[in-house]
């Protein structure tokens, strides 16, 4: 097993963060290989924070999630992590508007990892994939959802995932602090979308929530 290393600049530069990662469960070699390959990609900043990926893997283990939604594949870091963390018969439905990053960086590693049969990829607009699942009677049939795609659509992803998740299931929303921009007075469109979703979730009577300051902020939503 490879040791957990940091991926984001703010993780690499913070000794406290380093210590936490070094004393958390290690990732499998296929995950570390995928991370290393992704760090060479020009858009490596899109790679999920390691502490978030690691923590969500343990949530998946905790609730024994078997039907998992992954909104935003990029090179495959998050969907591979959910496939590793879940039991062999579990399925991860991974969606992205494009397969270009996955095809160029992650595909070969994921296909050799032994976990690829657990992942079903849908490369099109994520709202279309989620609407298709809702129309196909998959409401309340998923245990865990990870939202990490375009921020402007976060509210749409949240509402659709909430329909698809069962009572007692979890929705994890990444980048909930958006590099602390949610704290600033002036907000661009993505920051406003994230901030308004945080406020909406906080007052949403259908769920309990905790906004954690790990990675770039992780909003955890527990469906009542």
- Alpha-carbon gap, residue 47 to 70, rounded angstroms: 14
Q: Name the minimum Å distance from CB 96 to ligand SAM.
A: 4
**Number of shown-chain residues binding ligand SAM (CB under 6 A):** 19
The residue among 164, 146, 156 whose CA lies nearest residue 197 is 156
What is the Cα 169 distance to its own chain's centre? 15
Give strand ranges (E) for 72-113: 91-96
Helix (H) or strand (E) holding 123: strand 119-123
Piece in contact with ligand SAM (CB under 6 A), picked from 23-31, 142-150, 162-170, 186-194 = 142-150
Q: Name the minimum Å distance from CB 167 to ligand SAM.
A: 25
x/- letters, 112..131, toward ligand SAM (CB under 6 A): -------------xx-----
The angle at the Cα of 138, spanning 137 to 140, to the nearest 5 degrees, equals 115
Residues of this chain, 155-214, that bind ligand SAM according to CB under 6 A: none
33, 51, 96, 216: which one binds ligand SAM (CB under 6 A): 96
Q: Name the site residues for ligand SAM (rule: CB under 6 A).
A: 46-48, 72-74, 77-78, 95-98, 101, 125-126, 148-150, 153
């Amino acid at each position: 097993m490879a040791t957990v290393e940091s991926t984001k600049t703010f993780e690499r530069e913070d000794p406290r963060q380093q210590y936490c990662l070094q004393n958390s469960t290690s990732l499998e070699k296929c995950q570390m290989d995928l991370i290393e390959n992704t760090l060479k990609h020009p858009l490596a900043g899109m790679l999920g924070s390691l502490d978030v990926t690691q923590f969500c893997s343990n949530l998946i283990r905790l609730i024994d999630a078997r039907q998992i939604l992954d909104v935003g594949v990029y090179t495959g870091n998050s969907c591979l992590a959910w496939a590793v963390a879940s039991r062999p018969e579990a399925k991860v439905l991974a969606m992205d508007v494009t397969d270009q990053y996955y095809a160029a960086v992650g595909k070969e590693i994921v296909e050799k990892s032994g976990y690829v049969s657990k992942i079903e990829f849908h490369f099109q607009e994520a709202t279309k994939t989620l609407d298709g699942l809702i129309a196909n009677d998959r409401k309340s049939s998923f245990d865990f959802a990870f939202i990490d795609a375009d921020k402007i659509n976060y509210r749409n992803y949240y509402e659709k995932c909430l329909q698809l998740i069962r009572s007692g299931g979890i929705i994890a929303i990444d980048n909930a602090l958006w590099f602390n921009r949610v704290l600033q007075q002036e907000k661009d469109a993505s920051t406003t979308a994230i901030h308004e979703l945080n406020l909406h979730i906080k007052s949403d009577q259908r769920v309990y929530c905790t906004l954690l300051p790990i990675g770039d902020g992780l909003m955890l939503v527990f469906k009542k």
